[in-house]
Amino acid sequence: MPVTDELPPLDILLPLERAGERLEPRTDEAELLALLTDRMPVDPPRGVHVRANMISTVDGAATGADQRSGTINGLADFRVFRALRALADVVLVGAQTARAERYRALAVPEGLAETRRAFGRSPEVELAVVSASADLPPELLEGTRPPIVVTTSASPRLDALRDRIGQDRVIVTESDAPGVVDLRVALAALGARGLSHVLAEGGPTLLGELIEADLVDELCATTSPLLVGGPAPRIVRHGEWFDPARHLRPLHLLHADGVLLGRWQVVRLGA
Ligand SMILES: NC(=O)c1ccc[n+]([C@@H]2O[C@H](COP(=O)([O-])OP(=O)(O)OC[C@H]3O[C@@H](n4cnc5c(N)ncnc54)[C@H](OP(=O)(O)O)[C@@H]3O)[C@@H](O)[C@H]2O)c1
């Protein structure tokens, strides 16, 4: 991980009334966290606020040739990424991302604990992993603070998982399709534990399902100034067209070193 004093300034492009302002990196990142919470509901209407954070290249790739996102991101993205984590009660990922990106128990980003507290977040940031198989790396499940695993009663590893990480760390939900987690129920279960600010860090499959189920309030989308070609996924993987297509309203757009960092409000169906 880069040291924080290398982080670049971020220039505001949108909203227009703040265009030209520069957010210099600060130890507490109070200005950036304030921008990232601007127009965020204090009491989310459904009890849980879901913000997704994803990165893609200009040609739309969500990974580099190594099938991971580490080769398409950089310091500007890292600066926003850590600020978003500091504002999350829980980071939610699909199991494939947890495996590919080698997720482990999360720590509050260095230097941001005080600011996080000032924004009303709990002292720890939790990790929740959605998995039908519950086939997760031992290194992820070991340790004093294992992730919350969201799975179904059809998982062949359910009993072993409960033994390993504790019954209270396992959320079991069923959708109508066998072996598929009901994500609405899963989010409500996280909210019932006081984890109401959810940061979904992907991957594209989980994000596609969350959008299809109309569960995403906001999308932070970084565009990296790269062209990689290849068979990479986009940030949303979904076999069917969304019907209707979802509309987004820009909340802000930042720039640093050719990287564009957008924050979009998802217009919820029926809103
Ligand atoms: N560009 C970015 O911002 C970004 C962000 C994150 C990840 N990525 C990249 O994206 C790739 C991984 O994404 P992905 O789309 O392949 O997978 P993913 O969304 O991370 O995970 C898919 C897995 O999650 C579980 N899952 C998801 N929805 C479920 C449901 N409703 N019920 C039960 N289980 C469910 C299943 O796990 P099981 O297989 O365990 O059953 C499924 O195989 C990696 O290459 C990663 O590097 C990119």
Tens digit of each residue's pLDDT (9 = 90 or more) over 117-129:
999 998 999 999 9
269 three-class SS: coil
Please report the pLDDT score of residue 3 as a whole number: 53
Closest-lying ligand 1 atom to the alpha carbon of residue 101: 47
Q: How far is the CA of 99 from the centre of ligand 1 (A)?
A: 9
CA-nearest residue for atom 13, ligand 1, is: 203
Instruction: Say if 258 falls within a structural domain.
Output: yes
Instruction: Say if 10 falls within a structural domain.
Output: no
Q: How far is the CA of 95 from the centre of ligand 1 (A)?
A: 5
Q: Is the pTM of this model over 0.85?
A: yes
Q: Which of 81, 85, 205 to mutate to test the pocket of ligand 1 (most atoms within 8 A of CB)?
A: 205
Instruction: Say if 187 falls within a structural domain.
Output: yes
In percent, the amount of the chain with pLDDT more than 70 equals: 99
Instruction: Say if 220 falls within a structural domain.
Output: yes
Please report the pLDDT score of residue 42 as a whole number: 82
Instruction: Say if 13 falls within a structural domain.
Output: no
Q: What is the pLDDT of residues 93-147, one digit of tens each?
A: 999 999 999 999 999 999 999 999 999 998 999 999 999 999 999 999 998 899 9
Residue 87 in contact with residue 37, Cβ under 8 Å? yes
Angle at 87 between CA 81 and CA 89, to 5 degrees: 115
Closest-lying ligand 1 atom to the alpha carbon of residue 68: 47
Of 134, 53, 62, 150, nearest to 99 by C-alpha is 134
* Spatial distance between the Cα atoms of 217 and 204, rounded to a whole number of angstroms: 16
CATH number for position 49: 3.40.430.10
Q: Which of 157, 206, 234 to mutate to test the pocket of ligand 1 (most atoms within 8 A of CB)?
A: 206
**Structural domain tally of the chain?**
1
Instruction: Say if 14 falls within a structural domain.
Output: no
Q: How far is the CA of 26 from the centre of ligand 1 (A)?
A: 33
- Average per-residue pLDDT for the chain: 95
Q: How far is the CA of 53 from the centre of ligand 1 (A)?
A: 14
Instruction: Say if 41 falls within a structural domain.
Output: yes
Q: How far is the CA of 167 from the centre of ligand 1 (A)?
A: 23
Of 198, 203, 199, 224, nearest to 77 by C-alpha is 224
Residue 91 pLDDT class (50, 70, 90 cuts): very high
Q: How far is the CA of 24 from the centre of ligand 1 (A)?
A: 34
Give the structural domain span for 160. 28-266
Q: Which of 96, 176, 210 to mutate to test the pocket of ligand 1 (most atoms within 8 A of CB)?
A: 96
Per-residue pLDDT at 4 exceeds 80:
no
Cβ burial of 179 (10 Å; 0-12, 13-18, 19+) is middle
Residue 216 in contact with residue 207, Cβ under 8 Å? yes
Phi-psi region of 67 (alpha: psi -120 to 50; beta: other; left: phi over 0): left
Q: Which of 99, 130, 141, 161 to mutate to test the pocket of ligand 1 (most atoms within 8 A of CB)?
A: 130
Per-residue pLDDT at 264 exceeds 60:
yes
Instruction: Say if 18 falls within a structural domain.
Output: no
For ligand 1, residues with CB inside 6 Å are 54-56, 62-63, 67-69, 93-97, 100-101, 130-133, 135, 180-181, 183, 201-206, 209, 235, 237
